Chains A and B, each alone.
Chain A
Amino acid sequence: MKNAQPPQKIFKALLVLSALGALANLRGSWSNIAWASVNLALTTGLGLWFYRWTERMAESAEQKSKKLGELAQSSRFISYNASIAAARSSGPGRDFETLARELDRFSESCQQAATGEHVPASPPPFINRGKTSLRAVS
């Protein structure tokens, strides 16, 4: 969970500062102590929310990367099978060759997107037919 480290540090620093503030105010009046307690509670609450939010973001990025990796792998296998089909057929089999090339390109772009290099290219048009899960990822 590398992405969550800097926010964790910020959260801890805020918490320490807030606690120090509360301690400093202990010498003051009851209203000051009450205000410091509210301040501490708010900082803790906000910090926790912020921490969980960053954690969720990191998780969703991880899941997206995993899903893109799986998509790249699936497209690669479909591409291999299209190549095999093209090799085993004559004439119209040439269409499989084009299909294999398109899938190869798509798989490559998914792989790059999974490793955070760039946004994936649009999938070949035939992939979107009835495959909502693929559409959602791209």
Chain B
Amino acid sequence: MLPDVAGAYVVFGIGEALFGAPIDQVTEVLDLTQRPLERLIRGSVLHTRGEIFETQDLAPALGFDRTKLGTAKAALLTQSLAALVDQVCGIRIITRSQIDPRFKVAAHGEELIRIVDLHALIQTHQDRKAA
């Protein structure tokens, strides 16, 4: 684990697919299954340690149907909101040679991780919703 090396990614899962977000885009990860202080309010607002975050479910943004997946079990906090995911798999150091730039997919051991820009993904999804 080398968190301060460029190329560290927070790897999260939606359904059975794995995605990696650059570690500097995530301020904290939260386990929504165990911590009683964190509450999802009507699925759209997350309350944690006295702070309120707007939530954005990443499943539809990444082309998944949330109703088939069940409720999100973890959240990635960014500067502006909480991105809901199914699971957080860990922090992985991904080198440039592991990434196929055409598909933005990294082969890390036996895992295939799709690299995503969290900020852009959230922005695009919000724009699409607003339109």
Interface set of A (CB-CB < 8 Å, partner B): 70, 73-74, 76-77, 80-81, 83-84, 86-88, 90, 93-94, 96-97, 100-101, 104
Contacts and interface: CB of A to CB of B under 8 A. Distances in A.
A84 B1 contact: no
Contacts of A73: 31, 33-34
B26 interface: yes
Interface string B8-49: 101000000000000110111111011000000000000000
Given A93-B4, A104-B1, A77 B30 contact: yes
Nearest to B91: A83
Contacts of A104: 1
A88 B1 CA distance: 14
Contacts of B60: none
Contacts, number: 55
Given A73-B34, A87-B3, A93-B4, 10 more contacts: A77-B30, A80-B10, A83-B91, A86-B4, A87-B4, A87-B91, A88-B27, A97-B2, A97-B3, A100-B91
24 contacts: A70-B34, A73-B31, A74-B34, A76-B90, A77-B30, A80-B10, A80-B88, A80-B91, A81-B28, A83-B1, A83-B23, A83-B91, A84-B27, A84-B28, A87-B3, A87-B4, A88-B23, A90-B4, A93-B4, A94-B4, A96-B3, A97-B1, A97-B2, A97-B3
DSSP class of A's interface residues: helix, strand, loop or mixed? Answer: helix
B90 to A, nearest CB: 7
B23 A84 contact: yes
B83 to A, nearest CB: 14
A93 B23 CA distance: 14
Contacts of A81: 28-29
Contacts of B24: 87-88
Looking at B1, B23, B27, B33, the one whose CB has the most chain A CB atoms below 10 A away is: B1
